Chain A
Amino acid sequence: MSESMAPPKRAFAPVQWMRDNLFNTWYNILLTVVVVYMIGTSIGPLLNWLFLDATFTGADPKDCVGDGACWLFINQRLNFFMYGFYPDAQQWRVDIMFFLLAVAFVPQFIERFPARRWLGIFGMTGLPIIGYILIPGGWFGLEEVQSNKWGGLMLTLILAYVGIIGSLPLGIILALGRRSEMPVIRGFCVIFIEVWRAVPLITVLFMASVMLPLFLPEGMNFEKLLRALIGITLWQSAYMAEVIRGGLQAIPRGQYEAGSALGLGYWRKMRLIILPQALTLVIPGIVNTFIGLFMDTTLVLIIGLFDILGTVQSTITDPAWQNVAIEGYVFVAFCFWVFCFGMSRYSQNLERKLDTGHKT
């Protein structure tokens, strides 16, 4: 058997590449010139506005001079944008949670990090419990901080995190239920999914915040945040169920039969054979749904909860400052980008590792 030879290395010549790709036809030449011109003229002013002419430090609104962005505004309100109305003296509790969140999830990007799997499991199980104790307080001598004081980035993360942690298992159960052979369970799951999926989140939140209190007897008010969290989780689980059902349907019937042939019961068959395959198949869909949820959390604005966008919007109208709306929105966009891009990278990482794309 003759040894196969590696394909010849393709030399990379920038000039040749440019000629092949950017300047090969008259319209490509035109496009290239226009695009380069547009980038060239806009990047300078943008950098100037963002960094060079911008004001980062100072004492009060009058220090914001010049044409650049007034990051001083963000700087001064950062505490409010991060923690909302959470009392200053208790903010260390939130800091611990931010830290633990980072400890649990940042190592997931580093291939050889020791015990990273356990950290991930901790992030999905232990972390919510710690958060449940630490953030509201009222236990172990911790001062109680009611949920109407939570706000800013912290609230956004809580909403997204609880929504994600809650909707994944619920979604799996609903997806399995929808494919169940028992008519009652199947019927229930179908109705649940179709009802929740057909309603916009904004309506769900509105029902939870405006209508629900009217139906409950007076004095039996459970908190607005809790109502919103339940609404978001149920709504999201309906979407999640459909994503996961897509994965379940992609598993050939032979896999199910093989499981049965091994003498596995329904749950062990699902847990050991079907779900591991189905879930890895739909990682892009799951993460896509998570990212969507992360963005949708801003809708709590309409029920008067101060997530990061809410805190920014409530303060950019402060007449003491010049127009700082753009700075505020750029800041919010940046925060969202960091988290959503992180999630996206993680999913690509996972896909590469599990090789779900069947590329190699």
Chain B
Amino acid sequence: MKKLITLAAGTATLLGTLMASNAMAATTLEAVKNKGHLQCGVTNGLPGFSQPDEKGHWTGIDVDTCRAIAAAIFGKGDAVQFTPLTAKERFTALQSGEIDVLSRNTTWTLTRDASLGLNFTGTNYYDGQGFLIKKDIGVTDAKELNGATVCIQAGTTTELNLADYFRANDMEFKPIVFDTSEQTVQGFAAGRCDVLTSDRSQLAALRSKLADPSSAVILPNTISKEPLGPVVRQGDDQWFNIVKWVLFAQINAEELGITSENVEDMKKSDNPNIQRLLGTDGDMGEKLGLPADFGYKVIKEVGNYGEMYNRNVGPGTPLDLDRGLNALWTEGGIMYAPPMR
């Protein structure tokens, strides 16, 4: 199976390069400008990251990442169309040019970065895998889970991480595999397993689906690193830079205290860092092939990283997640962007 996947990935890469060589008449940026909108690949419904709301509008942190890129290019955050993709389709859709950027809750790993003909542009959410357990089994640490039955969703890195973790700690477990996260939580609620494992960002949402959420607790352990971020095709460095620096601009904006509300006032600021970010001074936009005020447009339309986080997954939203690792480096997290100069 592994060989098959490698083979398929290799073929896909080969085809990707072949096609890239014969049809790259325009750069991605030119192609996007000609289309008049950005085509962005998202999940088919993951709370907080990309999910349609009551009106059928996409919301979530991955969706806002796409809007920010559209705002940087067109000055309008709504110049973007979304393509919902399943986990299996996502890389092909990007390789074949069906979408311009993939912002689909995708973990940055070496294999994906090196062998699929793709580039990860950064991390818009640092996630990690955790455990949700029934309170009455009285476990407080994942190391005590020897012999547990575990509910997992099939076909994700979650499954592999779990096996790695239990093997590394010399423990046994019995997996019960479900197809969707909905079924996984139903299985957990019905008592088919003691433990449910998933990305931490989803555990709270899954817990809230239980009839009695207080009957389950989230263990403090994080057993894997899941840096999630946007992905672009290899071979177009300008586009790679644009997607990368839009996110950096949002992170820098938070560090500098620029928000979508005060951005007009900030334009008059004397701080050269702020001036460069908002495009009132310097030629940062030009270097990327974007309008000079792309930073201003991104903050105006979507907001800085903190706003994006709080609106979609932060405290007060149904997911109710603390900033944790995703806080700025100045506030104890690891969100760090290179300087804009």
Name A residues whose Cβ lies closer than 8 Å to a Cβ of B.
76-77, 79-80, 83-86, 88, 146, 148, 151, 206, 209-211, 213-219, 221, 224, 301-306, 310-311, 313-320, 322-323, 325
Q: B140 at the A/B interface (Cβ < 8 Å)?
A: no
Q: For the complex, what is the distance from the CA of A85 to the CA of B58, rounded to whole Å? A: 9
Q: For the complex, what is the distance from the CA of A148 to the CA of B44, rounded to whole Å? A: 13
- Would A319 and B208 be within 8 Å (CB), given that A213-B96, A214-B15, A313-B45 are in contact? yes
Complex contact B92–A315 (CB within 8 A): no
- Chain B 222-254 against A: per-residue CB contact (8 Å), 1 yes, 0 no? 000000000000000000000000000000000
| Residues of chain B within 8 A of A313, CB atoms compared | 44-45, 180, 182
- Would A304 and B23 be within 8 Å (CB), given that A77-B54, A210-B92, A213-B98 are in contact? no
Give the contacting residue for B205; candidates A83, A86, A311, A317; CB below 8 A: A317
Complex contact B209–A319 (CB within 8 A): yes
- Listed A/B pairs (26) with beta-carbon separation below 8 Å: A79-B54, A83-B56, A84-B56, A146-B81, A206-B88, A210-B92, A213-B92, A213-B96, A213-B97, A214-B19, A214-B92, A217-B19, A218-B20, A218-B96, A304-B83, A305-B84, A306-B84, A314-B51, A317-B45, A317-B51, A317-B182, A317-B209, A319-B205, A322-B208, A325-B186, A325-B209
CB B210 to nearest CB in A, in angstroms, measures 8
Q: B85 at the A/B interface (Cβ < 8 Å)?
A: yes
Complex contact B44–A310 (CB within 8 A): yes
Closest residue of B by beta carbon distance from A206? B88
Give the contacting residue for A209; candidates B16, B82, B89, B180; CB below 8 A: B89
Interface residues on B, range: 35 or more
| Residues of chain B within 8 A of A305, CB atoms compared | 84
- Would A304 and B84 be within 8 Å (CB), given that A217-B23, A221-B97, A325-B186 are in contact? yes
| Residues of chain B within 8 A of A316, CB atoms compared | 182
CB B88 to nearest CB in A, in angstroms, measures 7
Q: For the complex, what is the distance from the CA of A209 to the CA of B21, rounded to whole Å? A: 23
Q: B288 at the A/B interface (Cβ < 8 Å)?
A: no
Q: For the complex, what is the distance from the CA of A316 to the CA of B20, rounded to whole Å? A: 39
CB B323 to nearest CB in A, in angstroms, measures 18
Q: B52 at the A/B interface (Cβ < 8 Å)?
A: yes
Closest residue of A by beta carbon distance from B185? A323
Q: B24 at the A/B interface (Cβ < 8 Å)?
A: yes
Q: For the complex, what is the distance from the CA of A206 to the CA of B205, rounded to whole Å? A: 30
Closest residue of B by beta carbon distance from A212? B96
- Considering the complex, which residues of chain B in the window 1-60 have a beta carbon less than 8 Å from any beta carbon of chain A? 12, 15-16, 19-20, 22-25, 31, 44-48, 51-52, 54-56
Q: B119 at the A/B interface (Cβ < 8 Å)?
A: no
Q: For the complex, what is the distance from the CA of A325 to the CA of B187, rounded to whole Å? A: 13
Complex contact B209–A322 (CB within 8 A): yes
| Residues of chain B within 8 A of A77, CB atoms compared | 54
- Considering the complex, which residues of chain B in the window 59-103 have a beta carbon less than 8 Å from any beta carbon of chain A? 81-86, 88-89, 92-93, 95-98
| Residues of chain A within 8 A of B15, CB atoms compared | 214-215
